[in-house]
Amino acid sequence: MNLPELRIGDLVAKVPIVQGGMAVKVSTAPLVAAVADEGGIGLIAGSGISVDELRNEIKRAQELTEGIIGVNIMVAASEFKDLVKASINEGIDLIVAGAGFSRDLFTLGKENNVPVVPIVSSVRLAKISEKLGASAIVVEGKEAGGHLGTDKPMKSLIKKIVDKVKIPVIAAGGIIDGEDIAEVLRMGADGVQMGSRFVATDECEVVQEFKDLYINSTKEDSILIESPVGLPGQALSNEFTDKLDADEVDTGNSCDYLCLKKCSRYFCIVKSLVKAKEGDMANGLVFAGEEAHRVNEILPVKEVIKNLVTEAKNYLNREEAKDE
């Protein structure tokens, strides 16, 4: 049994895998292009960077691949509309948006014939998204890395939502291997979005210390932190999170980065994410899904996707045989 193609508007991904847009500057052009080259959809993380930086990242990805590339932009970003418009002007294939809900985004998508894919965690928002013209939806559960919009498990949300809309449903949160993919496909999802597995790849542009935190982590290392933007954030335990627990972090008063519309300034979330990407684990926050401990080796993207597809096919074939 072959895996189904993932259709989003006029776009057709040969492999139903969307690589999550992980900020800040974790999902960059080389990773995005490598996933797109293998038939999946690569997403550039468009949050925590300037409009010019996003433009340059899109151009860089377009030079590396002819596959499908999109952007993931947080609605809560202070320059959300400018980032969206810049992406459209650069010829991006699709826009994924989470951490809020923007009706204006659907208008921009329609006007420019760019598919819009909101991240939702409820039946209500799924239906509203379809009504407003979403080309697909990402249904994200509590297992996802980064800022979370729900405390509900992904599979429980998929069960509630998949029959309530006619547009493609993409499952996100806690998906690490091919069996995870196959399970949600059998539940009725049209594809998956996964981020954590793609951090531990050759093409991901974070430093080795960042990747090592993933592949050496245990289940107990997955923790929730209180983000200054007013949402819980799922991360991996390290020296920085220990400082957060001890109330020893105070970087919000001197934040020099493009930030979000809402921020308590308890600490600078963007600064901490950039520090982690650079390898400063004493001052850096590493976002990761709660199943990140199952990632145990660094591989090229080509090999990761090959393994995922093989595992998913084998699982589906086994389950199909049981059903006969």
How does pLDDT run across 118-159, given as a tens digit for each residue? 999 999 999 999 999 999 999 999 999 988 888 999 999 999
| 182 to 3, 20, 164, 228: CA distances (angstroms) | 9, 18, 21, 36
Terminus-to-terminus CA distance in the chain, angstroms?
14
Q: Rounded mean pLDDT of the chain?
A: 92
Which amino acid is located at 296 in the chain?
N
Q: What is the pTM of this model?
A: 0.94
Torsion sign, CA atoms 192, 197, 198, 203: negative
**Domain 6-204+296-309: what homologous superfamily?**
Aldolase class I (3.20.20.70)
**Does the pLDDT value for residue 284 go beyond 60?**
yes
pLDDT at 250: 73
Model confidence pLDDT, tens digit, residues 193-248: 999 999 999 999 999 999 999 999 999 999 998 888 777 889 999 999 999 888 88
Query: Residue 166's CB: how many other CB atoms inside 10 A?
Result: 7
Confidence of residue 252 (pLDDT cuts 50, 70, 90): low
Q: Among 60-64, 119-123, 263-267, whose mean pLDDT is lowest?
A: 263-267
Could you give the residue range(s) of every CATH 3.20.20.70 domain in the chain?
Answer: 6-204+296-309
Residues of the chain with pLDDT > 90: what percent? 75
